């Protein structure tokens, strides 16, 4: 049930030491986490790293730190899991890119920025759905247009779109992840939508609801 | 709209959520749940916000729609709208008789033949893609070829005005799902009489006969998902004789009879190459004569939304799906599993897997966690329970091999004869134990399939299960044995251990489940092993238990060694030896053998981490243990002794004790030649002999060239034969590639040189295929890189470009190994050696700048090595030489300062280690 970020009952069961609840809670969020990983993983790593493998590690991390988390939960459960997942992903990126750096003798800063939703990957995701034969011709152009629209956005706005749609977070969760107030996250989201609409409405059929 | 920084700041200081956004959040959540809510609905419900809603919602919906490639992912499967015309080609539609995820079923009259048929019409979008449509028509053609008394005949497929449909014989009957529902509704009335009349649904009844005992509203095809409230939509179904379902389900023999018919049908279809893929009660119709009709053969495949099965969104009814099906695999035994779950539900009147969420159901299925039928209803006969449990076994291997076997066993039950399901087979003890303890049973199953997120849970459950103090020691022994079996699957012979001679007695037979050795699996294993460790300390009351525990440690060590995790492997072996040392070996050959093996393994780990002196000590201990024992002549002891000498020789050679090394290798060869003569069919002796030849090859006399040629061709011949006879064993191929590489000699004669190149090319090809097929095994990568490097060395005088490209590739492979396993010194060393070759070749063709760069990288790697193994003189000597090489390249480029610095480094090292030039 993606969308419900914080399952009080399950977390309570967790607190009372029920192991099953943990498995259940994790399974509930697993798909969302996986989507997040697939979306944010560096394109160069996609063939080499499997999101499921990373999630296994996250599962173990979470299992080990759960007690600690429950003592004083400062984040909602999903956001906490997401944080552990991000950390793992950073590790993976670091490991691979380090290996590559030695070969190409090039300094690449590895930090959280790396995981930010890039305009290119979002544009690709959005446009790839249109790749039917008749639409293929406009595909490249489309990617470019969407990419431009996204690039023109405030970085955090772009991130808000990614979190709301690709990770299916609620407004409150988005606010939590980005350290914003609920109201700020909400207004940023609306502004980003307007911006996107300007581009998307130019594409025939894109905004048709059916 | 605006998006300059001022507005950003305004947004961040806003006090309220945008109300349209809040509504949008609701819209998105409802749509994600599958509700078909529209912009329009919201706009009308909130007129004051309508303008904004109409602007923003379409963008939200578009983003949702396009974020995934699957257009149908959010569509509600039940909200299908089909405007079916009155006529579909030859068929005149009479009325709707069923509705499900896949389509709508109508009763129709085929006008040309004037017969009543059932027509299933699919929603337009289901078959929109050409690929799916093609699959659909192929599958339905196959299904139309099935002719069996228990399979609903398919007349054909067609399309009309863009609608695709499927024409079947109209069956006058009732879905088994409905029968189960009926029986559930009246649980108190327990009819035990074997009343054959109750079995019949009123003979001769038709769908509209109006008879009380008849099925007023026969359902031809029902496709309800278990929990969907479509009962309300069909009030007539209540009119079904309420006693009927109960009659059927309360008579277990009748249930078995249904099972026999379905199993027969499935078996027949499988023999025709057709899988059903969606066996469940609602796909089984029972007609008034008690005949079971299986519907929708092959349709599940044809209509599957997406080949990659999403855990949260699987077509069909989840709770009847086999665990492997959830992972996207399906074979004949998966159909049998689904039939098992169907029978379970029929005899217990309860679903086997229930949980609050889909994800939780999936989790239970994957763990095989369900109440045993007799725990639900104690009246269920033991034999029938055994049959259902066997059909529902978590692992396909443990189920009935085919529908025929299941049908036969059910028939045995009906006739009161003993059933096969209760016989105890190979894994018997484990299964029996598992039956006593479903908790542990699910555990064993889960461990064996290592799926998803359950492993951590498993180890904690395991702990619970075994820690219960009152548990008998016997249970602990079985627990350990099964753990050992599971670990054994990691290291089974076909994945082959790098250095072990003997396949374990409990290695799985070919065809049994195998687990891929990966870092991931190994890390999951650790928790369980840690527990064993503690277990061994706390409990360990009997020698038997101790020995089993020791064996688990050895297994773990083998896995770690194979993964290149030498630190962990060493700890596991040391722990194992500690336990073994507490045992009184006496004249127990098997204990001696295990001890020697572990000593050898430990020595190899030390060897692999360049601690040759320590390695030699372990090998010498192993030798002494073997020689001192009472029956040294036994083949297994001789083989282990030979292995010990081989290992010893390797370490001695790397310590420059040439004569000792030669003696050791020769001993190994002669022991093994005797063994192979004595037992020519013993594969592992042959493999060992081939390895011994390879190790001895460099020592074979150069002057007497016959010895060398003999050693080489004998070794290759053995491995060629092994590869030919056992193509499924990758390690034989690896051995062959290593042999082909190790016996390359540079030759001045050109015909000979061509032969050498051909030999090496073969080695490279084999190694490349292996490392592509098993990317997680470092050994195969090393083999490939070594062969490439040897090739570079071989051709660098004749074709320096080719040499450089081979060396480049070798360096790249070693580089990936050093970055993945930075704590393994050997990889740094090998990498440095390949780089050195690279530098020398470049120097020879006067590309001095690149040569210098390679030499410098080699220095870096060797320095990494010496940081890990600072006591290795040989490495320091090599390092000094690498500095020399840097200096030479610098000189060639007239960089006198750089050269001087490099020479300075080399001198320092030589002074410190008192090394001489050349050595």
CB-CB under 8 Å, B356 with A197: no
Tokens of B135: 């699959």
pLDDT at A133: 34
Residue B286 CB coordination number (10 Å): 24
DSSP B135: H
pLDDT for residue B103 is more than 80: no
Using pLDDT thresholds of 50, 70 and 90, give the confidence band for residue B304.
very low
Tell me which residues of chain A, numbers 66 to 125, contact chain B at a CB-CB cutoff of 8 Å: 95, 98-99, 102-103, 125
Nearest to A166 among B67, B362, B461 (CB): B67
Q: Which of B624, B536, B615, B616 is nearest to B583 (CA)?
A: B536
In chain B, % of residues over pLDDT 90: 25
Asked whether B658 and B687 are in contact (CB, 8 A), the reply is no
Q: What is the per-residue DSSP string for A79-133?
A: HHHHHHHHHHHHHHHHHHHHHHHHHHT-----SGGGGSPPHHHHHHHHHHTT-SH
- pLDDT (tens digit per residue) in B165-174: 888 888 888 8
pLDDT at B73: 28
ipTM exceeding 0.90, yes/no: no
- ∠ CA A160-A161-A165, nearest 5°, is 120
pLDDT at B630: 67
**Residue B120 assigned ligand-binding role:** yes
CB-CB under 8 Å, B524 with A152: no
- pLDDT (tens digit per residue) in B143-157: 778 888 899 888 877
CA nearest to A97 within chain B: B819
Q: Does A18 touch chain B (CB under 8 A)?
A: no
Q: Which H or E run contains B741? A: helix B730-742
Q: Which of B165, B150, B231 is nearest to B407 (CA)?
A: B150
pLDDT at B310: 36
Residue B159 CA: distances (Å) to CA of A143, B123, B152, B891 = 37, 12, 21, 82
Nearest to A182 among B17, B28, B520 (CB): B17
- The span from the CA of A130 to the CA of A136, in Å, is 7
pLDDT at B77: 33
pLDDT at B487: 55
In chain B, % of residues over pLDDT 70: 67
Using pLDDT thresholds of 50, 70 and 90, give the confidence band for residue B259.
very high
CB-CB under 8 Å, A197 with B456: no
pLDDT for residue B839 is more than 50: yes
Range with the poorest average pLDDT among B360-374, B465-479, B577-591: B465-479
Using pLDDT thresholds of 50, 70 and 90, give the confidence band for residue A205.
low
pLDDT at B899: 93
B790 or B797, which is more confident: B790
CB-CB under 8 Å, A103 with B453: no
B342 or B217, which is more confident: B342
- The span from the CA of B292 to the CA of A75, in Å, is 55
User: What is the average pLDDT across A175-190?
Assistant: 90
DSSP A163: I
Range with the poorest average pLDDT among B187-196, B224-233, B302-311, B908-917: B224-233
DSSP B401: S
B552 or A120, which is more confident: B552
Q: Which H or E run contains B285? A: strand B284-286
pLDDT for residue B515 is more than 60: no
pLDDT for residue A3 is more than 50: no
- Measured in degrees and rounded to the nearest 5, phi and psi for residue B492 equal -60, 165
Residue B773 burial class via C-beta count within 10 angstroms: exposed 0-12, middle 13-18, buried 19 and up: exposed
Interface probe for A, chosen from B14, B22, B28, B67 (most Cβ of A below 10 Å), is B67
Interface probe for A, chosen from B23, B25, B72, B366 (most Cβ of A below 10 Å), is B25
pLDDT for residue B380 is more than 90: no
Range with the poorest average pLDDT among B28-42, B163-177, B485-499, B852-866: B485-499
Instruction: Give the CA dihedral B683, B689, B691, B695, nearest 10 degrees.
Output: 180
Q: Rg of chain A over CA atoms, in angstroms?
A: 19
Range with the poorest average pLDDT among A129-143, A174-188, B571-585: A129-143
User: What is the average pLDDT across A137-155?
Assistant: 66
User: What is the average pLDDT across B443-467?
Assistant: 38
- ∠ CA B275-B280-B283, nearest 5°, is 80
Nearest to B357 among A1, A57, A196 (CB): A1
Interface probe for B, chosen from A34, A95, A190 (most Cβ of B below 10 Å), is A190
Range with the poorest average pLDDT among B226-230, B422-426, B724-728: B226-230
pLDDT at B224: 31
Cβ neighbours of A3 in B, within 8 Å = 28-29, 32-33
- The span from the CA of B34 to the CA of B78, in Å, is 10
- pLDDT (tens digit per residue) in B267-282: 998 888 788 888 988 8
- The span from the CA of A163 to the CA of A170, in Å, is 8
Using pLDDT thresholds of 50, 70 and 90, give the confidence band for residue B853.
very high
A167 or B128, which is more confident: A167
pLDDT at B484: 55
pLDDT at B233: 25
pLDDT at B785: 94
pLDDT for residue B455 is more than 60: no
Cβ neighbours of B65 in A, within 8 Å = 129
pLDDT for residue B526 is more than 90: no
User: What is the average pLDDT across B772-784?
Assistant: 80
Nearest to B8 among A63, A103, A154 (CB): A154
B552 or B709, which is more confident: B709
pLDDT at B860: 94
- The overall average pLDDT reported for chain A is 71
- The overall average pLDDT reported for chain B is 73
Range with the poorest average pLDDT among A24-33, B7-16, B58-67, B420-429: B420-429
Using pLDDT thresholds of 50, 70 and 90, give the confidence band for residue B683.
confident
- Choose the most confident range, by mean pLDDT, from B249-253, B440-444, B528-532: B249-253
CA nearest to B313 within chain A: A31
User: What is the average pLDDT across A162-169?
Assistant: 82
CA distance B39 to chain A (A): 8
CA distance B160 to chain A (A): 23
Asked whether B65 and B71 are in contact (CB, 8 A), the reply is yes
CA distance B68 to chain A (A): 7
CB-CB under 8 Å, A154 with B66: no
Q: What burial letters (b/e) apply to B571-587, b meaning 16+ CB within 10 Å?
A: bbbebbbebbeeeebee
Using pLDDT thresholds of 50, 70 and 90, give the confidence band for residue B914.
confident
In chain A, % of residues over pLDDT 90: 4
pLDDT at B544: 67
pLDDT at B522: 54
User: What is the average pLDDT across A38-65?
Assistant: 75
């Amino acid at each position: 049930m993606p969308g419900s970020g914080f399952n009080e009952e399950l977390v309570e069961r967790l607190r009372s030491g029920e192991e099953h609840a943990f498995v259940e809670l994790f399974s509930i969020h697993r798909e969302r986490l996986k989507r997040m990983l697939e979306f944010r993983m560096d394109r160069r790593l996609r063939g080499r790293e499997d999101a499921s493998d990373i999630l296994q590690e996250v599962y173990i991390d979470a299992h080990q730190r759960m007690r600690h988390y429950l003592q004083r939960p400062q984040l909602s459960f999903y956001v906490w899991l997401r944080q552990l997942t991000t950390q793992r992903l950073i590790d993976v990126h670091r490991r691979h890119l380090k290996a590559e750096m030695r070969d190409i003798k090039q300094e690449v800063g590895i930090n959280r920025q790396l995981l930010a939703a890039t305009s290119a990957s979002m544009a690709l995701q959005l446009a790839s759905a249109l790749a039917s034969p008749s639409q293929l011709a406009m595909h490249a152009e489309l990617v470019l247009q969407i990419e431009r629209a996204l690039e023109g956005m405030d970085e955090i706005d772009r991130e808000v779109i990614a979190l709301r749609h690709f990770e299916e977070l609620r407004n409150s969760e988005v606010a939590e992840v980005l350290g914003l107030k609920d109201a700020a996250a909400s207004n940023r989201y609306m502004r980003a939508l307007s911006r996107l609409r300007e581009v998307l409405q130019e594409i025939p059929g894109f905004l048709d609801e059916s | 709209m605006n998006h300059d920084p001022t507005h950003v700041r305004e947004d961040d200081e806003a006090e309220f959520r945008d109300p349209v956004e809040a509504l949008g959040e609701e819209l998105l959540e409802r749509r994600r749940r599958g509700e078909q809510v529209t912009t329009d609905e919201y706009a009308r419900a909130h007129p004051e916000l309508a303008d904004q809603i109409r602007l923003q919602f379409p963008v939200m919906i578009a983003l949702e729609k396009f974020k995934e490639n699957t257009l149908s992912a959010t569509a509600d499967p039940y909200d299908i709208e089909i405007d079916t015309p009155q006529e579909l080609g030859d068929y005149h539609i009479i009325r709707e008789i069923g509705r499900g995820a896949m389509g709508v079923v109508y009763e129709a009259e085929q006008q040309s033949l004037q017969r009543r048929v059932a027509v299933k019409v699919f929603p337009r979008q289901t078959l929109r893609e050409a690929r799916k449509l093609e699959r659909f028509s192929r599958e339905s053609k196959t299904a139309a070829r099935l002719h069996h008394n228990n399979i609903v005949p398919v007349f054909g497929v067609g399309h009309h005005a863009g609608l695709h449909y499927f024409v079947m014989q109209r069956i006058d009957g009732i879905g088994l799902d409905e029968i189960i529902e009926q029986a559930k509704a009246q649980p108190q009335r327990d009819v035990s009489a074997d009343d054959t009349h109750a079995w019949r649904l009123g003979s001769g009844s038709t769908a509209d006969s109006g008879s009380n005992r008849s099925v007023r509203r026969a359902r031809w095809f029902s496709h309800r998902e278990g929990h969907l409230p479509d009962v309300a939509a069909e009030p007539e179904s209540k009119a079904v004789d309420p006693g009927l379902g109960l009659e059927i389900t309360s008579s277990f023999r009748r249930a078995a009879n249904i099972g026999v018919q379905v199993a027969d049908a499935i078996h027949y279809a499988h023999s025709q190459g057709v899988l059903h893929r969606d066996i469940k009660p609602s796909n089984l119709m029972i007609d008034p004569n008690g005949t079971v009709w299986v519907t929708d053969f092959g349709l599940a495949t044809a209509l599957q939304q997406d080949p990659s099965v999403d855990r949260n969104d699987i077509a069909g009814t989840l709770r009847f799906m086999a665990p492997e099906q959830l992972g996207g695999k399906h074979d004949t035994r998966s159909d049998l599993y689904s039939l098992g779950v169907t029978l379970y539900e029929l005899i217990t009147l309860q679903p086997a897997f229930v949980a609050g969420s889909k994800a939780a159901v999936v989790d239970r299925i994957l763990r095989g966690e369900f109440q045993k039928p007799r725990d639900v209803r104690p009246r269920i006969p033991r034999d029938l329970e055994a049959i259902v449990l066997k059909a529902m076994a978590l692992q396909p291997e443990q189920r009935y091999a085919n529908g025929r076997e299941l049908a036969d066993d059910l028939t045995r039950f009906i006739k009161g004869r003993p059933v096969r399901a209760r016989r105890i087979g190979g894994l018997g003890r484990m299964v029996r134990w598992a039956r006593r303890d479903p908790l542990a049973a699910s555990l064993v199953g889960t461990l064996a399939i290592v799926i998803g997120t359950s492993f951590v849970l498993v180890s904690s459950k395991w702990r619970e299960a075994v820690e219960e103090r009152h548990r008998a020691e016997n249970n602990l022994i079985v627990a350990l044995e099964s753990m050992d079996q599971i670990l054994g699957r990691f290291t089974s012979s076909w994945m082959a251990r790098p250095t072990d001679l003997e396949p374990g007695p409990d290695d799985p037979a070919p065809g049994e489940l195998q687990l891929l050795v990966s870092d991931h699996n190994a890390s999951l294993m650790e928790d369980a092993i840690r527990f064993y460790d503690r277990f061994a300390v706390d409990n360990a009351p009997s020698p038997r238990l101790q020995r089993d525990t020791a064996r688990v440690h050895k297994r773990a060590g083998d896995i770690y060694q194979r993964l290149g995790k030498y630190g962990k492997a060493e700890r596991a072996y040391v722990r194992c030896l500690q336990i073994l040392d507490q045992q009184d070996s006496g004249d127990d050959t098997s204990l001696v053998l295990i001890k020697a093996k572990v000593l050898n393994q430990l020595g190899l780990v030390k060897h692999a981490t360049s601690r040759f002196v320590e390695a030699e000590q372990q090998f010498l201990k192993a030798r002494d243990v073997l020689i001192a024992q009472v029956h040294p002549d036994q083949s297994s002891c001789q083989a282990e002794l030979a292995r010990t000498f081989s290992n010893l020789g390797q370490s001695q050679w790397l310590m420059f004790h040439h004569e000792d090394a030669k003696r050791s290798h020769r001993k190994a060869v002669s022991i093994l030649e005797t063994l192979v003569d004595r037992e020519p069919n013993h594969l592992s002796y042959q493999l060992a002999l081939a390895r011994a030849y390879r190790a001895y090859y460099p020592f074979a006399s150069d002057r007497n060239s016959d010895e060398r040629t003999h050693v080489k061709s004998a070794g290759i011949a053995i491995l060629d034969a092994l590869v030919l006879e056992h193509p499924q064993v990758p390690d034989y191929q690896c051995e062959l590639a290593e042999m082909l590489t190790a016996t390359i000699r540079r030759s001045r004669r050109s015909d000979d040189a061509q032969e050498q190149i051909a030999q090496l090319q073969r080695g490279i090809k084999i190694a490349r295929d292996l490392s592509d097929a098993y990317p997680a095994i470092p050994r195969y990568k090393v083999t490939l890189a070594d062969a490439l490097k040897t090739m570079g060395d071989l051709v660098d005088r004749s074709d320096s470009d080719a040499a450089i490209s081979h060396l480049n590739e070798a360096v790249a492979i070693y580089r990936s190994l050093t970055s993945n396993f930075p704590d393994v010194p050997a990889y740094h060393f090998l990498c440095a050696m390949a780089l050195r070759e690279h530098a020398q070749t470049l120097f020879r063709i006067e590309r001095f700048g690149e040569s210098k760069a390679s030499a410098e990288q080699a220095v870096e790697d060797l320095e990494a090595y010496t940081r890990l193994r600072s006591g290795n003189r040989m490495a320091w000597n090599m390092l000094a030489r690498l500095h020399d090489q840097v200096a030479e390249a610098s000189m060639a480029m007239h960089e006198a300062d750089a050269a001087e610095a490099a020479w300075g480094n080399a001198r320092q090292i030589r002074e410190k280690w008192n090394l001489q030039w050349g050595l």
